[in-house]
Amino acid sequence: MIFKTTRTLIAAAVLGMTAVAAQAQENPECIAPANPGGGWDFTCRQAGKTMQDLGLIDKTMQVVNLAGGGGGVAYAEVVNKRNDSNDLIVAASSATATRLAQGAYPGNTMDQVRWLASVGADYGVIAVAADSEVNTLPELLDQIKADPTSVSIAGGSAVGGWDHLKVLIAANAYGIDDVRAVKYIAFDGGGEAVTQLLAGSVQAFTGDLSEAKGFVDSGDIKVIAVLAPERLGGAFADFPTAKEQGVDAIGANWRGFYAPGGMSDEAYTAWVEKIGALYASDEWKAVMEANGLAPLDLQGDAFQSFVADSVAQIEGISKEIGIIK
C-alpha cells in the first residue's frame, strides 16, 4: 500500500491499532545479530530512531547487539527463549535467508519466526571493466555458455555467499543448467574484487549497487545488469536491469525484520503497520537515499512469501553447487 507521507496519516495508522497491540509494545526492543556497526545494527538503530521521531513508538527502541554464528545466536535466542515476546523485533537481511537455506542455523528453520516487513534493499549488480567489449548481461552469459573457463567472476563474499549466489541466480535464469561451471573467485571485499577486475585477472564483478556506484563514477567499471525488478531512479537510472534484457533474475540484499514465532496476532499486525508507516514516511526515504538503499516495499504475508521464495531458491542453488547436500 502506498501511503501519503504525512504525519497525519501516520498518526491515524497508529490510532487504528488495537489497544491490546499498543499495550504489548510498551518496551520496544530490536536485536541486531552482530556487533555495533554494519547492516543489522544500522537497521535496528535507524528504524528505531525514525519510528520514535514519527511517534510510531512512545519510547526509545532498545537495541541489543547479539553477535555470533552469522545471526544464528540471535535466531536461537528468539526461538528458544523469547518466543512469546510482543515487544521484540530482530533485524534481518539476505544473509539471514542464505544461512537458513544452507542450514547454518542448526536445528532452526524460517517458519519458527514471523516475518514482518522489509525496509529497503541494496540490489545486486554484475559489472565489467569500462573498456570491456562486453556490454550486456546476455553477452557475458553467452560466453559462459560457450566456454565456462573463459570467464572468471570476482566477488567480495566467500564461495556460496551472497555475491556468489547473485551471479548464479542470473546464470540459472538464463538457462545455464550446470551453474557449477560458472567460475567464481572470492576476494576479501568488493573493493579488492574490483581491483582484480581492473587488473585483468577476472572478466566480471558481482557485488551490490552501493559498492559499485563509486567505481562507475570514477569511470573504472560499467554495470551491465542490476538485479532489480525494474529500473531504479536518480543516479542509478541509466543502469539496465537483468529483467529488461530477458534474464528474469532478482538479487536484492534486502533489509527487514522478523518477530518471535509466538508473538500475538495483534502485536504482529501492529508491528507490520508501524514498519509500513515507517517505510512510507519522507523521513525514511531520506535515510534510504543517504545510505544507498533502494525500494523494497513488502509487509506481512507478502514479505513472508518473499523470504520463503528466497530461502527455497538459495537452497536449490546451494545444492547444485555442492554447498549443501
Indicate whether 205 and 274 sit together in one domain. Answer: no
pLDDT attached to residue 229: 87
Q: Is 70 exceeded by the pLDDT of residue 122? A: yes
Indicate whether 88 and 203 sit together in one domain. Answer: no
Task: Tell me if 267 sits within 8 A of 24, measured CB to CB.
Answer: yes
Give the residue with greater pLDDT, 213 vs 181.
181
| Mean pLDDT computed over 20-42 | 78
User: Mind listing the pLDDT tens digit for each residue in 218-275?
Assistant: 999 999 999 998 888 777 889 999 999 999 999 888 999 999 999 999 999 999 999 9
User: Mind listing the pLDDT tens digit for each residue in 13-24?
Assistant: 444 444 434 444
Which among 142, 179, 163 is positioned nearest to 317, based on CA atoms?
179
45-54, 123-132, 183-192: the lowest-pLDDT one:
183-192
Residue 28: inside a domain: yes
Residue 78 in grid coordinates: 528468539
% of the chain beyond a pLDDT of 70:
92
Residue 101: inside a domain: yes
CATH number of 144's domain? 3.40.190.10
Q: How many domains does the chain have?
A: 2
Q: Is 90 exceeded by the pLDDT of residue 285? A: yes
Indicate the burial class of 81 (C-beta count within 10 angstroms; 0-12, 13-18, 19 or more).
exposed
pLDDT attached to residue 15: 46
Residue 295: inside a domain: yes
pLDDT attached to residue 8: 44
Indicate the burial class of 227 (C-beta count within 10 angstroms; 0-12, 13-18, 19 or more).
buried
Indicate whether 117 and 130 sit together in one domain. Answer: no
Q: Is 60 exceeded by the pLDDT of residue 132? A: yes
Task: Tell me if 140 sits within 8 A of 224, measured CB to CB.
Answer: yes
pLDDT attached to residue 25: 67
Entry pTM: 0.73
Residue 325: inside a domain: no
Which among 174, 93, 178 is positioned nearest to 126, based on CA atoms?
174
Indicate whether 284 and 209 sit together in one domain. Answer: no
* The residue count for the chain: 325
Show the domain range for 282.
7-121+253-320
Indicate whether 127 and 224 sit together in one domain. Answer: yes
CATH number of 64's domain? 3.40.190.150
Residue 1: inside a domain: no
User: Mind listing the pLDDT tens digit for each residue in 168-201?
Assistant: 999 999 999 889 899 999 887 788 899 999 999 9
